[in-house]
């Protein structure tokens, strides 16, 4: 069902710039497939999306193929050492060019073997001599914006988008101060989940720790909840807390080089995390499959490509305790939102910006409504 502009305007009903006065987004935006279609265009095709740690594209010819909301793409490093990104779509008949990841000298289409160089320029098209008015230079791969940000690779399908460095203000500096060693860390493991909930419910839940003392009894002893601060800035929010004083093997900080729990959410669906313990970095993404299904990818980077026992324990804790608790929550929320008993809620906010507050959820909803406004006013 297509959503009309009139209908889109109703999304901001009850929303107020002041979180204490504001209503949250209406349930229909979480359950109706039409909104997901609009979000693809206005949010996912216009925002910076994480691709990989820079280690994956270290050498000339290194490439990775991936998708953003059903658009196949490739990121690679060219011969001159520059990063490039293109639609992974051949200009002859539209076949996908590369799959998985690896290293190539040129890009050869598996369908009729048109060949492109690592800058996306077509240099060979079999038997094309007989064609009239055919210039290979008219058939380059369609480029996509690509950027290295804090040793991670991001792309943006909007050719007019400002760079991530510009859009994200002080985020790189903040990350650098808590995690100066991302370049030296390597991918160790990935957890994945398919959740029966809208991606926005998963983000909402990630952005507040108002639920932590109720739903994550263990977690609240791992971090110092009294000094947990949540601040919102432009297109991201920062969620910082010192490690808790309690002894807990899953989060052991005795003699650890990392003492803080530092987490960032980056509009719209990327979370970056640094936990207390040995040097670590985590990238967690909430990828919509459809209006009521979200695929989560949770990548862990450590000093070595196999987790040490303490890290393995932390991963198991996240997987079997924290994630289970959160998935049960968001799936329950999704079921509730589909009933006539829920239309929209409110934000419970601590004016001091502690973790026990939902002001970062309000910030996310304000960015969401801004994206919808751009569409309404386009």
Q: Does 111 bind ligand FES (CB under 6 A)?
A: yes
Binding of ligand FES by 134 (CB under 6 A): no
Q: Which DSSP helix (H) or strand (E) runs through 333?
A: helix 323-337
With CB cut-offs between 5 and 8 Å by kind, which of Fe ion, ligand FES, none does residue 175 bind?
none
Q: Is 116 in the site for ligand FES (CB under 6 A)?
A: no
Contact region with Fe ion (CB under 5 A), list: 137-145, 175-183, 257-265, 319-327: 319-327
244 is written with which tokens? 């808790």
d(CA 201, CA 166): 28
Residue 289 host element (H or E):
strand 280-290
100 CB neighbour count, 10 Å cutoff: 8
Q: Provide the 8-state DSSP code for 26.
A: -
Residues in binding contact with ligand FES, number by CB under 6 A? 9
Kindly report the backbone phi and psi dihedral angles of residue 191, in degrees, each rounded to the nearest multiple of 5, phi listed first: -105, 140
- Does the bond joining 267 to the residue before it have cis omega, within 30 degrees of 0? no
Shortest Å, Cβ 90 to ligand FES = 3
Choices 92-100, 156-164, 176-184, 222-230 (CB under 6 A): range interacting with ligand FES: 92-100
Q: Tokens standing for 225?
A: 């909840």
Binding residue (CB under 5 A) for Fe ion from 39, 326, 356, 358: 326
3-state SS assignment for residue 178: helix
Q: Does 90 bind ligand FES (CB under 6 A)?
A: yes
**Closest among 46, 93, 92, 103 to 69, alpha carbons compared:** 46
User: How near is the Cβ of 333 to Fe ion at its closest, in Å?
Assistant: 12
- Residue 105 interaction partner, one of Fe ion, ligand FES, none, beta carbon < 5-8 Å per kind: none
Q: How far is the CB of 50 from ligand FES (least distance, A)?
A: 28
Footprint on this chain of Fe ion (rule: CB under 5 A): 326
Footprint on this chain of ligand FES (rule: CB under 6 A): 90, 92-93, 95, 109, 111-114
């Amino acid at each position: 069902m297509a959503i009309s502009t009139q209908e889109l305007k109703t999304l901001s009903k009850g929303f107020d710039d002041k979180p204490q006065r504001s209503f949250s987004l209406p349930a229909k935006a979480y359950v109706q497939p039409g909104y997901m279609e609009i979000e693809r265009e206005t949010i996912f095709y216009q925002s910076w999306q994480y691709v990989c740690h820079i280690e994956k594209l270290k050498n000339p010819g290194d490439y990775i193929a991936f998708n953003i909301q059903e658009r196949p793409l490739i990121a690679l490093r060219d011969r001159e050492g520059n990063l490039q990104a293109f639609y992974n779509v051949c200009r002859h008949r539209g076949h996908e060019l590369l799959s998985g990841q690896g290293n190539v000298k040129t890009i050869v289409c598996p369908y009729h073997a048109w060949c492109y160089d690592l800058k996306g320029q077509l240099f060979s098209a079999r038997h094309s001599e007989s064609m009239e008015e055919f210039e290979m230079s008219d058939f380059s791969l369609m480029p996509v914006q690509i950027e290295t940000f804090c040793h991670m690779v991001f792309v943006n399908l909007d050719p007019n988008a400002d760079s991530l460095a510009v859009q994200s203000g002080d985020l790189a500096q903040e990350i650098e101060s808590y995690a100066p060693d991302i370049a030296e860390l390597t991918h160790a493991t990935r957890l994945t989940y398919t959740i029966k909930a809208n991606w926005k419910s998963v983000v909402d839940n990630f952005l507040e720790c108002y639920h932590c003392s109720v739903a994550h009894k263990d977690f609240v002893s791992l971090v110092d909840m009294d000094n947990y601060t949540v601040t919102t800035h432009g297109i991201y929010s920062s969620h910082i807390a010192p490690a808790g004083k309690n002894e807990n093997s899953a989060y052991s900080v005795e003699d650890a080089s990392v003492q803080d729990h530092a987490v960032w959410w980056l509009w719209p669906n990327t979370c970056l995390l640094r936990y207390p313990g040995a040097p670590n970095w985590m990238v967690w993404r909430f990828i919509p499959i459809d209006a009521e299904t979200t695929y989560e990818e949770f990548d862990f980077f450590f000093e070595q490509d196999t987790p040490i026992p303490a890290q393995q324990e932390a991963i198991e804790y996240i997987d079997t305790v924290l994630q289970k608790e959160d998935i049960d929550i968001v799936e329950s929320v999704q079921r509730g939102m589909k009933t006539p008993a829920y239309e929209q809620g409110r934000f419970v906010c601590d004016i001091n910006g502690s973790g026990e507050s939902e002001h970062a959820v309000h910030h996310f909803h304000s960015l969401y409504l801004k994206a919808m406004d751009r569409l309404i006013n386009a």
